[in-house]
Structure 1
Amino acid sequence: MSLATADSALDRLRALGLDLPSLADNPYFVHHRAVDSSIHISGQLPYKDGVLLGTGIVGRDVGLETAQDLARHTAVNCLAAAVQAVGNLERVRIVQMLVFVASTPDFGLQSQVANAASEVLIEVLGDNGRHARTAIGVAGLPLNTPVEIQMICTAV
């Protein structure tokens, strides 16, 4: 199935070769919290099947393409948290995305890492995936991961 013939957001996600993961419970935080009509998604990391997909600093240990791939997986994990909150991928609208990239001070391409996550959201959700966004370079992230993404969503 191609993206052009995919009927649902879940079909479009699968056409990209991606699936919504199950998110493990954490004793210290919840993956999402609803406040009025907003759903705040906790910072997600690039886990797949319980394994962190990469570590290191972008621009030193991690190349741009690898960081973009990690950002895609992280965005899908954010979608999984949103689905936990609203029950169905079709009901998710992304309002804002904050992308943290652990990178060298001279890297300067954080927005290109974030673009990969934005592309997934728009390809899967269409106009509901378009969002306000900030991409920030930081000195380090939890577990030495190169990418962390936090979102605010709403249900449609």
Structure 2
Amino acid sequence: MSLPLPQTVKGGTALERLANLGLELPVLAANAYYVDHNRVGDSIHIAGQLPFKAGVLLGQGVVGRDVDLETAKELARHAALNCLAAVVQAVGDLDRVRVVQMLVFVASPPDFGLQSKVAEGASELLIEVLGENGRHARTAIGVAGLPLNTPVEIQMVCTTAS
């Protein structure tokens, strides 16, 4: 068994660590058909987030055919950033959040087999920003296609940290 990935980004708060990574939480566009988060008690269910930045989808295609692994990891990282933005909408403060579970959908051919490597981009961001509260259970699955032909979509379940 390997040792857990250390949290190495400096900063006293999650927002400071985001800034030290050169990132900021985006403003998520509203949708008439669903909400980006739904809170049930201490649980926060985050709707599937795509790798949008300023209203622009950062990539399209199938991982392992149109999109290389490193690009897919970056897209997963950005989709996770959008999930964090949805959590802040629900809770107001990243330092009050613990990620419980992350589900990563990867548009990929049947023989790709590296969906978990794509998901690592998102997992790394969560640990860099939230430390131990970013460690999570995770499922990464390959699918035939995703909305808007995006390579990656991420859904999360979080809770308020105690």
Partners of 1:24 and 1:71 in 2: how far apart?
Answer: 18
Partners of 1:60 and 1:5 in 2: how far apart?
Answer: 36
Partner of 1:130: 135
Deviation at 1:4, TM superposition (A): 4.5
Which residue identity does 2:154 align to in structure 1?
A: I
> Runs of at least 4 residues of structure 1 off by over 4 A?
none
Q: What SS is found at the alignment partner of 1:18?
A: coil
Which residue identity does 2:153 align to in structure 1?
A: E
Q: What SS is found at the alignment partner of 1:111?
A: helix
Deviation at 1:155, TM superposition (A): 1.1
Partners of 1:81 and 1:126 in 2: how far apart?
Answer: 18
1:3-152 matches, within 5 Å, as 4-152=9-157
Q: Which runs of 5+ in 1 are unaligned?
A: none
> Structure 1-normalised TM-score?
0.96
Partners of 1:79 and 1:114 in 2: how far apart?
Answer: 15
> Structure 2-normalised TM-score?
0.93
Partners of 2:114 and 2:20 in 1: how far apart?
Answer: 28
Deviation at 1:5, TM superposition (A): 3.4
CA contact (8 A) 2:44 2:157 kept: yes
Partners of 2:35 and 2:106 in 1: how far apart?
Answer: 22
CA contact (8 A) 2:37 2:86 kept: yes
Q: Which runs of 5+ in 2 are unaligned?
A: 1-7
Which residue identity does 1:84 align to in structure 2?
A: Q
Which residue identity does 2:128 align to in structure 1?
A: E
RMSD, matched Cα: 0.9
